Structure 1
Amino acid sequence: MRSESADLLQRGAQALGLEVIDQLPAFGRLLELLREGNTRLNLTALKTEEDIVLKHFVDSLTCLRGAYLEGALAVLDLGAGAGFPTFPLALVRPKLRFTPVDSTRKKIDFVRETASQLGLDQVTPLVGRAESLGQDAEHRGKYDRVVVRAVASLPVLAELALPLLREGGLLVAQKGNITAEELNAGRRAAGEVGGKVQVVDPFELPILGDARTLIVIEKHRPTPSKYPRREGVPTAQPLFWTPPPRQAR
């Protein structure tokens, strides 16, 4: 990692109240592995060191706003892709036990090999879909936290994540700007599957200033057995939500 990129990472982390100087070598190795893997597997559209540092590393660390990820917790990273936010969080919070999940085997193979290269024994990658895991007794209701980046609308995230949480567990969802309509639908969906939106935290990504929103949903009662619905249905037919039509290009 170039010194300029290391400086960006430290500045971004410090803006979040974090100190990462001891983890800089590991972040540098993660950067190398990601860029090498990307030449073979198309893991990320981000190409420059600066973009990767700010939009993957620092962005992942914003999950630590509000101290929702403190202590020895079992955390499922839903739609982990190439390992974000798992890897940055695991590097700075080694007590967290991560299960990064993605439906694409090649990405999970990369995450598994990278975790081994970084010595992150607390990271146990898994190939799968949330709809299936949420109906699997081995995973349903077993996690203290679910973290997810902006992979779907809030109603979809609520239906997919809350079945995996124990009662009292939290979904920590990273979003960009969120409309009042999506948020209201997310509140209704959360209530339907046993949870409640507890925190809506808008902020700006350090250094870049991009709009972000951290949304925290607490699970306070068991999820009805019919949720999550079968594969593809939550995304195609979100609870209480009709996505706006895409504009023609």
Structure 2
Amino acid sequence: MNPETVELLHQGAAELKLDLTASEAGFVRLLQLLQEGNARFNLTALKTERDIVLKHFVDSLTCLRGGHLDGTLQVVDLGTGAGFPALPLALVRPELQFTPVDSTRKKVDFVRATAQSLGLENVAPIAGRAETLTRQPEHRDQYDRVVVRAVAALPILAELALPFLREGGRLVAQKGPLSQEELRAGQRAAGELGAQVVEVEPFALPVLGDARTLVVMEKQRPTPARYPRREGVPNQQPLFWSAK
């Protein structure tokens, strides 16, 4: 990581009131491992150091806004891809226990190997789909938080994520600009699935200024047993939402 990129990392973190001095070496190594993995597996479309640092590393750290990840928590990173937001968060929050989930085996293998290389004992990824995993007793109603960075509509995220959570748990969803139509559909879906939208926070991505929205749902009662529906259905037929 060149000095200019290191400075961008610290600048972005400072805007989030984070000091990365102790974890800087981990981020430098993570960048190296991601670039090496990208050359073999095409893990992410972002290639330049600047894009990776700002749009993966710093963007992942915005999950910490609002204090929703404070404490000793069991956290699912749903649709982790190449390990985001789990790996950056694990570097700065060792008290959090992360279960990154992805349906693509090569990405899960990369996240596991990267976590081991970084010495992150608080990261234990698994391969699978949410529709299947949340039918298993060891995963349904077992987690304190689900984090997700996704372009999927809120009703889809709610159906896939909320079954992981115990009562009182929270879904922390990172999205771009959010329409009122999607928010209303997400609120209806949350209610159907045993949760409530408790926070909607628009903000600007540090340094770049790109529009982001953090949406938080809190689970208040068990998700009905019929959810999630079978594999693929939540994406194809979202609750209360017609794809635009």
Fold-level similarity (TM above 0.5) = yes
Partner Cα separation in structure 1 for residue 70 and residue 90 of structure 2: 11
Partner Cα separation in structure 1 for residue 100 and residue 150 of structure 2: 15
Amino acid at match of 1:120: L
Alignment of 1:79 with 2:79, yes or no, is: yes
Aligned to 1:51: 51
SS of the residue aligned with 1:226?
Answer: coil
SS of the residue aligned with 1:187?
Answer: helix
State the Cα distance separating 1:40 from its structure 2 match. 0.4
Partner Cα separation in structure 2 for residue 146 and residue 226 of structure 1: 20
State the Cα distance separating 1:243 from its structure 2 match. 1.1
Aligned to 1:6: 6
Aligned to 2:190: 190
Over the aligned positions, Cα root-mean-square deviation in angstroms equals 0.5
Alignment of 1:178 with 2:178, yes or no, is: yes
Q: 1:139-158 CA deviation, whole Å, 9 max, x = no partner?
A: 00000000000241100000
Aligned to 2:105: 105
Amino acid at match of 2:76: L
Partner Cα separation in structure 1 for residue 178 and residue 210 of structure 2: 13
Q: How many residues are treated as equivalent by the alignment? A: 244
SS of the residue aligned with 1:22?
Answer: coil
SS of the residue aligned with 1:46?
Answer: coil
SS of the residue aligned with 1:163?
Answer: helix
Q: 1:76-118 CA deviation, whole Å, 9 max, x = no partner?
A: 0000000000011000000000000000000000000000000
Alignment of 1:144 with 2:144, yes or no, is: yes
SS of the residue aligned with 2:162?
Answer: helix
SS of the residue aligned with 2:106?
Answer: helix
Identity %: 68
Amino acid at match of 2:119: G
Aligned to 1:203: 203
Unaligned runs of 5+ in 1: 245-249
Q: 1:165-209 CA deviation, whole Å, 9 max, x = no partner?
A: 000000000000011000000000000000000000000000100
Q: Does the aligned pair in 2 maintain the 1:79–1:151 contact within 8 Å? A: no
Aligned to 1:164: 164
Amino acid at match of 1:48: T
TM-score by length of 1: 0.97
SS of the residue aligned with 1:100?
Answer: strand
Aligned to 2:221: 221
Aligned to 1:26: 26
Q: 1:42-80 CA deviation, whole Å, 9 max, x = no partner?
A: 001011100000000000000000000011100000000
Partner Cα separation in structure 2 for residue 152 and residue 129 of structure 1: 15
Q: 1:182-241 CA deviation, whole Å, 9 max, x = no partner?
A: 000000000000000000000000010000000000000000000000000000000000
